[in-house]
Amino acid sequence: MNKNNAPILSVKNLTKVFKRHGQPDFIAVNDVSFDVMNGECLGIIGESGSGKTTVANMIARFIDATSGSITLFGEDITHAKGESLKNVWRKMQMVFQMPMESFDPRMKLGESIGESLVNSGMSAGDVKNEVTRLLSLVGLSAEFYPRYPHEVSGGQCQRAAIARAIAIRPAMLICDEATSALDVTVQSEVIALLRRLIHEMDMTCLFICHDIALVQHFCDSAIVMQHGKIVERGKPGDIVRNPQDDYTKMLIDSVL
């Protein structure tokens, strides 16, 4: 999938320390650096609490980094705020772990999917047509437009979440455990859908997952995180075949 050597996303020495009242500080992410090249799909593997979601949250600018820098398309976004942050979000979207919780329970799926289009100034009629097109792109019929999140299955909801994420044609997609809450058959369907869309829309992807087999199947390269640090990096196939770190070996043993 690699097209050229320009990194779309560059993370340098990223660190996140959570201050805790009356307890020692908790270092969730410790000096993490990596680049994601144009068109590449980078997997971040690690068990719960390894800091991979915190990395994603810092990249998406939901939380501030304690130190380090994040560069997207050559622009430093580490401290982006206001309009410049909205610009960042036009280029980068995210698919969340829990599909149902990522939709406002009081809004129709179609309205949620079209929210970014409305915000970008599209007219109501065009938004409706575009949302219908997006729904069909992710394998859902127009009947899903007026449904509420609790009226659809987890898999259908995650498809709608993917439709929402690709609505404004972002260059970068962050999938934070996007398939972890789904059962195995639905998981493979959603993975196939993501793979097709990433290819068709020429997106770069950061794929956060605890399942090393899934990363091997889906990603071009991978990093393994433990206790907030990167312990191994390389091609997922090489990592699985020839793990260098004890923690990676343990992860592989637990799956295979």
Partner 1 sequence: MTMENNSTQAAATTISSISSISTKSKTPTIREQHVKKKNVKARLFFFGALLLALLVMASFAESFCPYDPYAQNLDIALQAPSAEHIFGTDRYGRDMLSRVIAASHVSIFSSLSLVAAITIIGTTIGIVCGWRGGRLDTVLMRAADMFLAFPGLVFAMAVAGVMGGGIMSAVIALAAISWPKYARVARSKTLSVREMAYMRAARLSGSGTLKIIVRHILPNILTPIIVTSMLDIGTMMMELAGLSFLGLGAKPPIAEWGSMMSETRRLLSTVPIAVFAPGGAIFVSVMIFNLFGDALRDYMDPKRRGR
Binding site for partner 1 (CB under 8 A): 60, 62, 86, 89-90, 93-94, 96-98, 101-107, 112, 115-116, 119-120, 161, 164-165, 168
Q: Which is nearer to partner 1, 93 or 187 (CB)?
A: 93
Q: How far is CA 34 from CA 60, 68, 173, 183, 235, in A?
A: 15, 12, 16, 31, 14
Least Å from the CB of residue 116 to partner 1: 4
Least Å from the CB of residue 235 to partner 1: 30
Please tell me the distance from the alpha carbon of residue 182 to that of residue 190, in angstroms, as a whole number.
Answer: 9
Q: How far is CA 199 from CA 1, 40, 202, in A?
A: 8, 10, 5
Q: Which is nearer to partner 1, 20 or 150 (CB)?
A: 150
Least Å from the CB of residue 208 to partner 1: 14
Q: Do the beta carbons of residue 256 and residue 239 sit within 8 Å?
A: no
Least Å from the CB of residue 64 to partner 1: 14
Instruction: Please choose, from the candidates 135, 84, 82, the residue with its C-alpha nearest in 3D space to the C-alpha of residue 109.
Output: 135
Q: Which is nearer to partner 1, 70 or 224 (CB)?
A: 70
- In 6-158 the beta strands, taken as DSSP E runs, fall at 7-18, 26-37, 41-45, 67-72, 75-76, 92-95
3-state class (DSSP) for residue 69: strand
Q: Which is nearer to partner 1, 102 or 221 (CB)?
A: 102
Give residues with Cβ within 8 angstroms of 256, minimum separation 6.
Answer: 213, 240
Q: Which is nearer to partner 1, 88 or 214 (CB)?
A: 88
Q: Which is nearer to partner 1, 34 or 103 (CB)?
A: 103
Report DSSP state, residue 166. H
φ, ψ (nearest 5 deg) of residue 33: -135, 135
